[in-house]
Structure 1
């Protein structure tokens, strides 16, 4: 399930951390739900989450950087590019604890109850809940939201809520969802739904992607908007939920400003010059070399690595199997062999990364070795429909000497391509139809080009032309939605409890949905079966076994060229920001941070000193990989 929407959401590009829920034989309204009805960490009378400081001072401005541009404030439709952090204006029915993988607590819903057999869920809406215009949040708003998202929203919502049979109001503040079948996770999925105001949207076209500030009920409202350039969110002083235990210590900044940059290397220089306050560093080279500046040396910029306990998921070069050239598994494996990770890690990444070997790496969900007996019970009925290697050998990727010489991998790749009917003539690779092979790699990030250039050279050694096509964010999203690409670099984020969202990644039902994350174009009955079984898992042991089985089949399908991962968040921030002593396990927890009481003076000093620093920096740092 998606993490609470306000923590950041970009429809069609990524999904954030996922959580689940369930329930056998407990009845009656509860303040929290867990996946298998284990007791939640926080009791009904808890005062705040451990990773939030209830005494954090309010005030100040959090300045951040956005990438590319935006032209919409509606993140729910397949039109336009929504502004970053627009989810801050919305409340959801429930919110998840960031230090528990499986527990959710009431937000708009004061209490939650569900059927012992997981066939329905009922939300008791808090009578204090209000939209920003003072109108109360009611069951009718919940029903309106559900119906609008499933009929007019991104196709993602129709798939995500597909098991809902009907929804009805049982009272002004009581709403019930009935399911088509037992679904342990669905109550949580529905709890993560942001609630929209029916009275406000009834006078507007929901499918019109524009820059009119929407009405919400969350801790912030939209402030100043400069189309495509910047957006501000202003803290709602009379926010109805500010004293709820789940919110105590959160949302401490009076304003959250986001300025957009079209190039991350420019954005990094702007950060070091004091133009914004917080930077999540995704470049190993930058982390190693780009911060040798006075502001870091004297402590005005703080660099910190925060442990990340989430499964790392799978980032990789993703093949679009809708393309005839990429439908043969032998071809995909051959192309995978030509990426020299060890060379890239040594020469581009300062040795900072580990190779990703699972779609659920960094967790107990990752497959390894040969399948155990629990997995074999799941996989044996699919024998003949899935690669034989699943049963015969552990999945692995070749390791090179990091010297740029990959002759062994090239020989194996060439053999695979000839088996697929490809051949070389006049130093050019021809496909099975005798046409020259040319692949396009669609890219939106300038800094990723230097990673692809060595890969391009390795392909060229076998006569394969790889065109790196860089486009702006808007064009990239449009081409992604229309599946107009051969390869992209992207990821499949995972949580400690995968569930219904796996349909969006791998299931045939999502292959034609332009808003889904089935970028690969998977239409495989065996994978469909594995996904359905995973969602229906009735215990943690079953969930782990089904996830590992799915992982193996995906890996041996060679649907991506696996990239790399790191088990920390690398953050840099100006020292007028402060965060709690305890960080959550599953998020950076940025909305629990605050400005120090003297932040205004500190910020003025920062701006002046940053100008002086520019005079002593030896040379600008180049951008590195994503």
Structure 2
């Protein structure tokens, strides 16, 4: 099921700068235009010197505590290293970034560590000017050297960043408080914005000596509480079990406009669980304060206990996180392994999935089947291509499936015995074309006699509710699908190494897609461990369309290029689409308050919430 808490924290960093507003005016190159924020879609809402974001309560009291939960575990406080399970909360609590995202604007951010950013007309570089008052927790200033160190280590230690920042060829100090990033290509409108999201770590701390008297090593995991420049510090932790953050009274940016009305709790504690039922029981018993419901069945059936009935637990359904994202949740066959490299096999797997029956029997018909990688947004393809989208597809006509021009994508529809039988017959036909046949009650390779069997790898027992019925669908056509659920650490390692036959993935897309698309679907990412090209896509047509998305010169072209990319991805049957619901269910003990309106594009918890028990309440 969708982990909405994860989704809203991720992937709202991509795409395309509004040229008319953000590009510096022609003039003396020695006098750059400094911008207090960057927007990838339209103009900035807030002018220079604005007092605070409109979605916060500037008078929110400070104090109190909130106890949150997470599935999985953690074994590292190193925020830049891809190895291990990094503790949730480091980014945003312990570490600041150059820019801070606005939660009521699409892909927009304002100065946090940086007071301004500038770049030339051709966007061949970007320079960030750090605030003089920005300090680490030990009182030392945040410097350009820290930013350069953080960027270089982020690329070195995380394969995804090597792709994401592939065209950033240098980072260097260019002034007492200035750091400049240089690009090997021009007019990539996204790069200045995504560089603003770099997590900045203290160079002097990582190159110093740890509490054990040994030199620290940023290339390794660590459970030494790390030092940052953010509003919180690591106060205590139980390895793999819980971590408690305490608000820093000496935080340098407490009164900064982008922080006013935020970071209100004295402490934020995360507890980690391997079993979602145990996690929910902890919430129900009052050991956890806040719950994001990932299963709509639970939302309907599991809140009949006294605290919920009596109003001591509040419940809300909010659409906010979906307003600025498109979602694809799907089963993903690994095309690096046979027979999933055969498109007919992948299509047959979709015909075998009876979503409508599952939705009726397990989910109270609350879900809608996904038919786009950008579902629910203006970026989703539909009907037949027209206008600019058609022009872009014609540019790569020889590299994309011919059906993208003649037939809109549609998932098979089941739900009745007759429809289910028809779909299974179609699946068997496709498998026969791909070299398989039914012998008795087993689907086997016609040439070798090898049975068609594979493993579905899952990260949580909660996903078995869908995977097990899906495996039964396969059994009806002679395919053996084994469902295997592993712990978070093992799943992460296998996912990074693409060590699976089929797995469950969620991609959340911003309304301004860009460089991250190469990591999702690009050919180079298919062989790079740790990328998000989980399917193993290697396709020149897809690569060309990714380029069109990244280098779109205006919003019209970006939308058209994204629709074209979406249409081609669907036509190749790279995934078996699942479903979504356009509202998030949240529940919390009646100890907290939040602004009357949540931020337009997020829930805002815990950042802009506050405790009823705080001072002055």
TM-score interval, smaller chain? over 0.9
Measured in 2, the distance between the counterparts of 1:189 and 1:536 equals 15
The 3 A distance-change label for structure 1 pair 410 and 576 is same
Measure how far apart 1:392 and its partner are. Answer: 0.8
Other-structure match for 2:379: 365
Tell me the CA shift for residue 222 of structure 1: 0.9
Please, which of 256, 262, 269 is the counterpart of residue 250 of structure 1? Answer: 262
Secondary structure at 1:544's aligned position in 2? helix
Structure 1 CA distance for aligned equivalents of residues 147 and 614 of structure 2: 40
1:222-371 aligned at under 5 Å gives the runs 222-308=234-320, 309-371=323-385
Match among 1, 12, 18 for residue 17 of structure 1: 12
How many Å separate the matches in 2 of 1:371 and 1:527? 16
Alignment of 1:548 with 2:563, yes or no, is: yes
Q: Aligned partners of 2:234 and 2:579: how far apart in 1? A: 37
Structure 1 position 597, deviation (Å): 3.7
Asked if the contact 1:8/1:85 (under 8 Å) is kept, the reply is no
Contact preservation (8 Å) 1:8, 1:84 = no
Partners of 2:605 and 2:39 in 1: how far apart? 24
Report if the CA contact (8 A) 1:334-1:417 is conserved. yes
Task: Tell me if the contact between 2:241 and 2:271 (Cα under 8 Å) persists in the aligned partners.
Answer: yes
Q: 1:615 corresponds to which residue?
A: none
List 4+ stretches of structure 1 deviating above 6 A.
7-10, 599-602
Deviation at 1:158, TM superposition (A): 1.0
Distance 1:213 1:9, change over 3 A: farther
Name the CA shift for 1:573/1:456 in 2 (closer, same or farther; >3 Å): same
Specify the alignment match of 2:160 in structure 1: 156
Deviations 1:299-349 (A, max 9, x none): 110110112312232000011110121001110000011111111111111
**Match for residue 58 of structure 1?**
62
Q: Aligned to 1:165, what secondary structure does the other structure show? A: strand
- Which stretches in structure 1 are left out of the alignment for 5+ residues? 1-6, 603-626
State the Cα RMSD in Å: 2.0
Asked if the contact 1:318–1:560 (Cα under 8 Å) also holds between the matched residues in 2, the reply is yes
Give the match for residue 479 of structure 2: 464
Equivalent residue number for residue 453 of structure 2: 438
Q: Does 1:78 align with 2:79?
A: no
Partner of 1:545, secondary structure, is: helix
CA contact 2:396–2:544 (8 Å) conserved in 1:
no
Q: Displacement, 1:361?
A: 0.6
- 1:58–1:594 contact (8 Å) kept in structure 2: no
Match for 1:395 among 385, 409, 414? Answer: 409
**Aligned partners of 2:528 and 2:253: how far apart in 1?**
36
Deviations 1:328-378 (A, max 9, x none): 111000001111111111111111111111000111000000001211111
Asked if the contact 1:19–1:101 (Cα under 8 Å) also holds between the matched residues in 2, the reply is no
Give runs of aligned pairs for residues 177-256 of structure 1, distance below 5 A: 177-182=181-186, 183-203=188-208, 204-256=216-268
Q: What secondary structure sits across from 1:459 in the alignment? A: helix
After TM superposition, give the deviation of residue 18 of structure 1 in Å.
2.9
- Which residue of structure 2 lines up, in the alignment, with residue 169 of structure 1? 173
Equivalents in 2 of 1:320, 1:391: separation in Å? Answer: 27
Given that residues 265 and 611 in structure 2 are in contact (C-alpha distance below 8 angstroms), is that contact kept between their aligned partners in structure 1? no
How far apart, in 1, do the equivalents of 2:466 and 2:614 lie? 39
Q: Give the TM-score taking structure 1 as reference length.
A: 0.91
Give 1:94-105 correspondences, 5 Å limit. 94-105=99-110
8 Å contact from structure 1 (residues 9, 15) kept in 2: yes
Shift of 1:102: 3.2
Distance change >3 Å, CA 404–CA 125, structure 1 → 2: farther
The answer on 1:476 being equivalent to 2:495 is no
Contact 2:438 2:444 in 1 (8 A): yes
Deviation at 1:57, TM superposition (A): 0.8
Displacement after TM superposition at 1:433 (Å): 4.0
SS in 2 for 1:567: coil
Distance 1:372 1:405, change over 3 A: closer
Contact 2:61–2:614 (8 Å) recurs in 1: no
User: CA, structure 1 residues 149+9, in 2 after alignment: closer, same or farther (shift >3 Å)?
Assistant: farther
> Which secondary structure state, in structure 2, belongs to the residue aligned with residue 498 of structure 1?
coil
In 1, Cα distance between the equivalents of 2:198 and 2:479? Answer: 46
- Matched with 1:26 is 24
CA distance in 2, matches of 1:125, 1:296: 48
SS at match of 2:173: strand
8 Å CA contact retained: 1:53, 1:592: no
TM superposition shift of 1:232: 0.7
> CA 1:358/1:8 → structure 2, altered by over 3 Å: closer, same or farther?
closer
5+ residue gaps in structure 2?
A: 26-32, 209-215
Going from structure 1 to structure 2, the CA distance change for 1:515 and 1:15 (only over 3 Å counts) comes to farther
Match of 1:501 in 2: 516
Shift in Å at residue 202 of structure 1? 1.5
* CA separation of 1:8 and 1:225: change in aligned 2, threshold 3 A: farther
Task: Tell me if 1:419 matches 2:440.
Answer: no
Match of 2:86, SS state, is coil
TM-score normalised by length of structure 2? 0.93
Q: CA deviation at 1:394?
A: 0.8
Supply the distance in 1 between the matched residues of 2:13 and 2:131 (Cα, whole angstroms).
25
Classify the secondary structure of the residue corresponding to 1:313. strand
Over 3 Å counting, the alpha-carbon distance change for 1:593 and 1:35 in structure 2 is: closer
Paired residue secondary structure (1:214): coil
Matched, 1:106 2:111: yes
